């Protein structure tokens, strides 16, 4: 067994553990413990009029504070719903002459962070605090590592929380204990996802699963993670998107399919990007991007109301209003609105000169579509705070999108911008297999120029299209970014339970 460096406090806890074991106290007993009540429920429901309902309760949780009054202990117990006080009296716990259990466990063996269980009855103390009068107490799990120092008031509320992001993201398990409000973010995340499922299921959509390991990393312009399949002796890629598989299902006869897709992109990390992230994608036959905008508005509005009871959602020092309908503006008009420059008729040389004028540094190996994207990102994207659909993109930016029915050189696409960031991307899907092959070939040329995010040619997907795909609209919604907006969090790491970080050195 490798040597583990122990702090002085950790060493003391291990010594307590040994003494408890010698005294016959099992520090890690069998897991079954018949909890009947939780802290928040007790506090909300108990009264003198209904105290008979609380004459026998069984609670369990983590010890967050100990107030030693000699023959009486006041213990703050944190369970999954909050904090409740235990009133622990020696003569109740050890009614006979033998007080060894009290001395071994309560007096000298109990630490902050330990899990305990207790049975007793609910009452209100002289100071007016609803508490559990303990009649039995059992150690359920001994904590060998002290919780990070934090301060709480008499109600157990944190007022000096640990805020170091490095600690919080690496040790999320400890973060959740000492900063209980963090748990609410992830409860809201689950509620957000459930709201989406309910909305889509109610309209007849079918949830499906598609491969994470893919022979071709298709469906987006991104740099993939590469792995190796030993049995087949071929390279595989972690998916960057699930789009092409979902569209295969539309070819196969499904009218509306969706998936919460865990995607992986081997790119940069910042407060809105994580290499592993979750996207909702859905595809609906016989619909277009105009229909998709209306449904997206309805869904986002419904999420805001489900989480906040209103369409006005606080975000930092701003309020975002998710009341439909949202503003709509073409990407060319958005650039013109923010720079005064009309890029709609420019060729690649003109766009490069515009980038130079605007002091936008761009690589030499990207084409016309990426140049327009760079101009929009540098000059315009961050200015759309309230929900705004940026629509009608150049064909070069969107190799999977149907050409615009009335505007040459454009495609039927939108991105939903909120607080200066994209949270959704949608198309009227390209279903012409010949056009699609030509678009893929253009992407191959960009790849040959050194564009690491250019798309591969997916020959199987082209074969599927040749069987025929009905008119279809599809969308991808960034669940992590949407969760950031709906829970007022400044960083994507704050809405991921375990964000990627550089590995620690435990040597």
Q: What is the CATH number of the domain that holds 84?
A: 2.40.50.140
Q: What kind and span of H or E run contains 88?
A: strand 82-89
Choice among 22-31, 55-64, 451-460 with the minimum mean pLDDT: 451-460
Quote the pLDDT of residue 211: 96
Quote the pLDDT of residue 161: 60
Quote the pLDDT of residue 153: 61
Among residues 146, 168, 197, the one where a domain terminates is: 146
The DSSP line for 416-467 is EEETTEEEEEEEEBP--HHHHHHHHHHHHHHHHTT-TTSPPP-HHHHHHHHH
Answer yes or no: do 203 and 123 share one domain: no
**Cβ–Cβ under 8 Å, residues 281 and 246:** yes
Among residues 127, 146, 165, the one where a domain terminates is: 146
* Backbone angles phi and psi of 79, in degrees to 5: -110, -170
Residue 216 maps to a domain: no
Averaged pLDDT, 58-84: 95
Where does 117-242 have alpha helices with state H? 165-170, 172-178, 181-202
Answer yes or no: do 206 and 120 share one domain: no
Question: How is residue 198 written in tokens?
Answer: 């309910």
Question: How is residue 313 written in tokens?
Answer: 């959602």
Question: How is residue 140 written in tokens?
Answer: 């359920």
- 115 confidence band (pLDDT: 50, 70, 90): very high
CA 414 vs. chain centroid, Å, equals: 24
Answer yes or no: do 126 and 201 share one domain: no
**Cβ–Cβ under 8 Å, residues 279 and 269:** no
Among residues 126, 146, 166, the one where a domain terminates is: 146
User: Angle formed by the axes of helices 289-308 and 479-487, to 10°?
Assistant: 40
Answer yes or no: do 320 and 415 share one domain: yes
Question: How is residue 434 written in tokens?
Answer: 């010949």
Q: What kind and span of H or E run contains 226?
A: strand 226-229
Cβ atoms within 10 A of the Cβ of 323, count?
15
Give the span between the Cα atoms of 379 and 334, in whole angstroms: 9
User: Angle formed by the axes of helices 433-448 and 459-467, to 10°?
Assistant: 170
CA 356 vs. chain centroid, Å, equals: 38
Class of residue 133 by CB neighbours under 10 A (exposed 0-12, middle 13-18, buried 19+): middle
**Cβ–Cβ under 8 Å, residues 386 and 418:** yes
Half-sphere exposure of 235 (CA within 13 A, CB side): 7
Answer yes or no: do 188 and 321 share one domain: yes
Quote the pLDDT of residue 1: 47
Domain tally for the chain? 2
Q: Which residues pair with 68 in a beta bridge?
A: 73
- Secondary structure of residue 289 in the 3-state scheme: helix
- Secondary structure of residue 261 in the 3-state scheme: strand
CATH number at residue 461: 3.30.930.10
Answer yes or no: do 24 and 109 share one domain: yes
Answer yes or no: do 117 and 47 share one domain: yes
Please report the sign of the dihedral spanned by the C-alpha atoms of residue 430, residue 478, residue 246, residue 327. Answer: negative
Residue 376 maps to a domain: no
**Cβ–Cβ under 8 Å, residues 272 and 245:** no
The predicted model scores a pTM of: 0.89
Q: Over the Cα atoms of the chain, what is R_g?
A: 29
Residue 169 maps to a domain: no
Residue among 224, 241, 248, 222 nearest 462 (CA)? 248
Quote the pLDDT of residue 151: 63
**Cβ–Cβ under 8 Å, residues 428 and 412:** yes
- Tell me: the pLDDT tens digits for 428-478? 999 999 999 988 888 888 778 777 767 778 999 999 999 999 999 999 999
Answer yes or no: do 321 and 450 share one domain: yes
How many residues are there in the chain? 507
Question: How is residue 39 written in tokens?
Answer: 């802290």
Please report the sign of the dihedral spanned by the C-alpha atoms of residue 395, residue 398, residue 402, residue 406. Answer: negative
Residue 331 maps to a domain: no
Answer yes or no: do 427 and 286 share one domain: yes
CA 15 vs. chain centroid, Å, equals: 40
Quote the pLDDT of residue 158: 53
Quote the pLDDT of residue 293: 98
Residue 484 maps to a domain: yes
Residue 37 has pLDDT above 80, yes or no: yes
Q: What kind and span of H or E run contains 101?
A: helix 100-101
Range of the domain at 292: 184-211+240-326+386-495
**Cβ–Cβ under 8 Å, residues 29 and 84:** no
Q: Which residues pair with 265 in a beta bridge?
A: none
Q: Which residues pair with 229 in a beta bridge?
A: 234
Mean pLDDT taken over the chain: 93
Q: Which residues pair with 61 in a beta bridge?
A: 116
- Tell me: the pLDDT tens digits for 341-368? 999 999 999 999 999 999 999 988 888 8
Answer yes or no: do 130 and 16 share one domain: yes
Residue 381 maps to a domain: no
Answer yes or no: do 190 and 75 share one domain: no
Q: What kind and span of H or E run contains 247?
A: helix 243-251
Please report the sign of the dihedral spanned by the C-alpha atoms of residue 401, residue 403, residue 409, residue 412. Answer: negative
Cβ atoms within 10 A of the Cβ of 161, count?
16
- Secondary structure of residue 495 in the 3-state scheme: helix
User: Which tops the pLDDT comparison, 1 or 264?
Assistant: 264
User: Angle formed by the axes of helices 459-467 and 243-251, to 10°?
Assistant: 30
Residue 112 maps to a domain: yes
Choice among 122-136, 142-156, 366-380, 478-492 with the minimum mean pLDDT: 142-156
- Tell me: the pLDDT tens digits for 203-213? 999 999 999 99
Residue 397 maps to a domain: yes
- Tell me: the pLDDT tens digits for 158-195? 555 677 888 999 999 999 998 888 999 999 999 999 99
**Cβ–Cβ under 8 Å, residues 92 and 154:** no
- 154 confidence band (pLDDT: 50, 70, 90): low
Answer yes or no: do 134 and 201 share one domain: no
- Tell me: the pLDDT tens digits for 190-234? 999 999 999 999 999 999 999 999 998 888 878 899 999 999 999
3-state helix, strand, coil in the chain (%, to 5): 35, 25, 40
Q: What kind and span of H or E run contains 339?
A: helix 331-339
């Amino acid at each position: 067994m490798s040597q583990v460096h122990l702090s002085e406090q950790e060493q003391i806890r291990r010594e307590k553990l040994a003494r408890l074991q010698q005294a016959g106290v099992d520090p890690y007993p069998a897991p079954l413990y018949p909890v009947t009540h939780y802290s928040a429920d007790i506090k909300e429901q108990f009264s003198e009029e209904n105290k008979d309902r609380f004459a026998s309760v069984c609670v369990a949780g983590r010890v967050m504070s100990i107030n030693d009054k000699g023959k009486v202990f006041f213990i703050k117990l944190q369970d999954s719903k909050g904090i409740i006080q235990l009133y622990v009296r020696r003569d109740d716990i050890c009614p006979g002459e033998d007080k060894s259990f009290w001395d071994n466990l309560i007096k000298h063996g109990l630490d902050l962070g330990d899990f305990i269980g207790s049975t007793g009855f609910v009452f209100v103390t002289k100071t007016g605090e609803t508490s559990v009068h303990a009649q039995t107490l059992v150690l359920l799990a001994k904590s060998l590592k002290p919780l990070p120092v934090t301060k709480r008031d008499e109600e157990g509320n944190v007022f000096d929380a640990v805020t170091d992001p490095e600690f919080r993201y690496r040790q999320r398990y400890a973060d959740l204990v000492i900063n209980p409000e963090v748990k609410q973010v992830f409860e809201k995340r689950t509620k957000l996802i459930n709201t989406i499922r309910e909305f889509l299921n109610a309209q007849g959509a079918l949830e499906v699963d598609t491969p994470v390991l893919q022979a071709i990393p298709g469906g987006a312009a991104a740099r993939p993670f590469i792995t190796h399949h030993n049995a087949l002796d071929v390279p595989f890629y972690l998916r960057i998107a699930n789009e092409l598989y979902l569209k295969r299902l539309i070819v196969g006869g499904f009218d509306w399919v969706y998936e919460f897709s865990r995607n992986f992109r081997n790119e940069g990390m910042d407060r809105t990007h994580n290499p592993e992230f979750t996207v909702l994608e859905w595809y609906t036959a016989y619909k277009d991007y105009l229909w998709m905008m209306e449904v997206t508005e309805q869904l986002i509005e419904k999420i805001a109301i489900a989480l906040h009871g209103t369409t006005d959602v606080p975000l930092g020092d701003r309020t975002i209003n998710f009341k439909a309908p949202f503003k709509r503006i073409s990407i060319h008009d958005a650039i013109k609105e923010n720079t005064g420059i009309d890029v709609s008729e420019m060729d690649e040389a003109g766009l490069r000169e515009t980038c130079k004028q605007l002091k936008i540094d761009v690589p030499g190996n990207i084409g016309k579509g990426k140049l327009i994207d760079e101009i929009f990102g540098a000059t315009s994207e961050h200015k759309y705070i309230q929900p705004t659909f940026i629509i009608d993109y150049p064909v070069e930016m969107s190799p999977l999108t149907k050409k615009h029915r009335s505007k040459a050189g454009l495609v039927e696409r939108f991105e939903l911008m909120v607080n200066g960031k994209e949270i959704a991307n949608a198309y009227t899907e390209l279903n012409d297999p010949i056009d699609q092959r030509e678009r893929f070939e253009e992407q191959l040329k960009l790849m040959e120029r050194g564009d690491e995010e250019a798309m591969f040619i997916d020959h199987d997907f082209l074969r599927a299209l040749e069987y025929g795909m009905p008119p279809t609209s599809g969308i991808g919604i960034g669940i992590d970014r949407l969760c950031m907006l709906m829970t007022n969090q400044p960083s994507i790491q704050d809405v991921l339970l375990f964000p990627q970080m550089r590995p620690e050195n435990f040597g």
